[in-house]
Amino acid sequence: MDKTAGFEVSGVRIGGKEPIIIAGPCTVESEEQTLTVARAVKAAGIKVLRGGAFKPRTSPYSFQGLGEEGLKILKTARDETGLLIQTEVMDARQIDLVCRYADILQIGTRNMMNYSLLKAVGEVRFPVMLKRGFMAKVEELLLAAEYIIKGGNERVFLCERGIRSFDDSTRFTLDLAAVPLIKKLSALPIVVDPSHATGRADLIIPMSLAALAAGADGVMVEVHPWPKKALCDGLQSLSLDMFGEFVKKVSAMIQFLASHNQEQ
Q: Contact residues for ligand PEP (CB under 6 A)?
A: 26, 52, 56, 88, 108-109, 131, 161, 196
Task: Name residues contacting Mn ion, limited to 125-164 (CB under 5 A).
Answer: none
From the list ligand PEP, Mn ion, none, partner contacted by residue 109 (C-beta under 5 to 8 A by kind) = ligand PEP
- Bridge partners, residue 163, by sequence: 173
- To ligand PEP, the closest distance from the beta carbon of 58 in angstroms equals 9
Q: Whose Cβ is closer to Mn ion: residue 6's or residue 233's?
A: 233
From the list Mn ion, ligand PEP, none, partner contacted by residue 131 (C-beta under 5 to 8 A by kind) = ligand PEP
233 binds Mn ion (CB under 5 A): yes
| Residue 4: φ, ψ to 5° | -75, -15
Alpha-carbon gap, residue 95 to 99, rounded angstroms? 6
Q: Whose Cβ is closer to ligand PEP: residue 109's or residue 153's?
A: 109
Q: Whose Cβ is closer to ligand PEP: residue 5's or residue 173's?
A: 173
Q: Whose Cβ is closer to Mn ion: residue 26's or residue 188's?
A: 26
CA–chain centroid gap for 36, Å, is 19
Residue 141's CB is within 10 A of a number of other CB atoms, namely: 25
From the list ligand PEP, Mn ion, none, partner contacted by residue 25 (C-beta under 5 to 8 A by kind) = none
197 binds Mn ion (CB under 5 A): no
- To ligand PEP, the closest distance from the beta carbon of 47 in angstroms equals 18
DSSP H helices in the chain: 31-43, 68-81, 95-101, 115-122, 138-150, 178-185, 194-198, 204-213, 240-263
26 binds Mn ion (CB under 5 A): yes
Pairing label, strands 84-88, 48-50: parallel
- To ligand PEP, the closest distance from the beta carbon of 131 in angstroms equals 5
- Judged by CB under 5 A, the stretch of 26-34, 41-49, 65-73, 145-153 that binds Mn ion is 26-34
- To Mn ion, the closest distance from the beta carbon of 193 in angstroms equals 9
- Judged by CB under 5 A, the stretch of 19-27, 68-76, 173-181, 183-191 that binds Mn ion is 19-27
- To ligand PEP, the closest distance from the beta carbon of 5 in angstroms equals 26
Q: Whose Cβ is closer to ligand PEP: residue 26's or residue 253's?
A: 26
Q: Whose Cβ is closer to Mn ion: residue 26's or residue 104's?
A: 26
DSSP 63-110: ----THHHHHHHHHHHHHH--EEEEE--SGGGHHHHHHH-SEEEE-GG
| Residue 167: φ, ψ to 5° | -95, 115
User: 115: closest CA among 143, 86, 87?
Assistant: 143
Position closest to ligand PEP via CB: 108
Alpha-carbon gap, residue 94 to 88, rounded angstroms? 10
Alpha-carbon gap, residue 141 to 58, rounded angstroms? 21
Q: Whose Cβ is closer to Mn ion: residue 48's or residue 253's?
A: 48
Residue 27's CB is within 10 A of a number of other CB atoms, namely: 26
